[in-house]
Amino acid sequence: MTTDTMIGIDLAKSVFQVHGASMTGQVKFRKKLSRQQFRKFMAEHPASIVVMEACGSAHYWAREMAKYGHEVKLIAPQYVRPFVKRQKNDAADAEAIVIAAQRPEMRFIIPKVEEQQAKALLFRGRERLVRQRTELINALRSVLYEFGHPIPAGIGHLKRLETIIEGDNSDLPELVREECRDLSRQIAEKTQRIEAKAKQITSLATQTDMARRMQTMPGVGPMSALAVEAFAPPMDSFRHGRDFAAWLGLVPKQHSSGGKERLGRISKAGQADIRRLLIMGAMSRLNWLGRKTISESTWLFRMLMRKPRMLVAIALANKMARAIWAMLTKGEDYQNPTQTAAA
């Protein structure tokens, strides 16, 4: 493969801007191509390093470019923005992509395979249905509130809502009850679809050794395992578990200067879905039932005695992220540290 040319591509739906340069930065060509022309040009061009911003269609085009023999790299848009000169346009963006990619310290995103993208689509589909159901429940609560029935938030109060609507002594006008019944039917339909997708996710989480291994850890279920499979890059792309935890945003945000270390709240700089699920899994281990299994000799018990529960949950989620990295890189199931130390 020749590596004397780097091609930066500003992706779009119909018009693609292509910027070719040598590895030392000399411009070789600038082209504005239609979708068909772009595919033909890249298929005929000698194998080169192709760089694109990580956007909606980037992973698809990365796979297509790899079929033509090119070496593909994806770069986060926020890393490209500082290299745009003055006015922003497609040609300037394509040039900035090449300039950014030629920095020796630049970080790149690993393109996803089709199976990984499909699992991400399933995960996103379920999340979308949950949001739509929450919207419908809140709409139903607002209708009842207007007629003197304040109901707390949460799907756990759904039965109470139905009782108010269908009760024999209901004081709601018939027209309002009909509207509420329509909302209830929509909520039931969303719930049925959510449960179907949850079953599909549970089934998928049993089909790969990676997902099965992650679920041996307390606090990690099928949803968390699928999220790691769908959204996380290969674990061997991280040098150690701390890097994976930092990629998830489970580390403090730094504002240090002059040799003085200043740490703030967690950075939230990484993949939000995995981070949220790990924190939820950590919280499940810290509730009244999970606390019974926590030994008094562990760091977790000592932190619970002196720190807020949410802070402890984030610290535990950080530990879980590091353990996931260790499990997947070493090909081992979860081992309880206290039991391992006792043995």
Confidence label for 150 from pLDDT (cuts 50, 70 and 90): very high
| pLDDT tens column, 25-76 | 899 999 999 999 999 999 999 999 999 999 889 999 999 999 999 999 999 9
CATH 2.40.30.30 applies to domain 5-101: no
Residue 261: pLDDT above 90? Answer: no
**Per-residue confidence (pLDDT) for residue 299, from 0 to 100:** 86
Mean pLDDT of all residues in 199-207: 93
Whether 206 and 200 have beta carbons less than 8 Å apart is answered as no
pLDDT of residue 1: 46
180, with CB counted inside 10 A (0-12, 13-18, 19+), is buried
Give the CA diameter of the chain: 81
- For the chain, give the mean pLDDT: 90
Residue 121 has pLDDT above 60, yes or no: yes
Instruction: Tell me: pLDDT of 2 over 70.
Output: no
- The per-residue pLDDT for 252 is 84
Domain ranges of the chain: 5-101, 114-204, 213-342
Q: Residue 315, Cα to own-chain centre: how many angstroms?
A: 19
* pLDDT confidence tier of residue 289, bands split at 50, 70 and 90: low
Quick one: average pLDDT of 157-172?
87
Strand partners, 15: 34
pLDDT at 95 over 90: yes
Q: What is the mean pLDDT of residues 199-218?
A: 93
Residue 266 is classified by DSSP as E
Q: Which residue has the higher pLDDT, 291 or 224?
A: 224
Element (H, E) at 119: helix 114-146
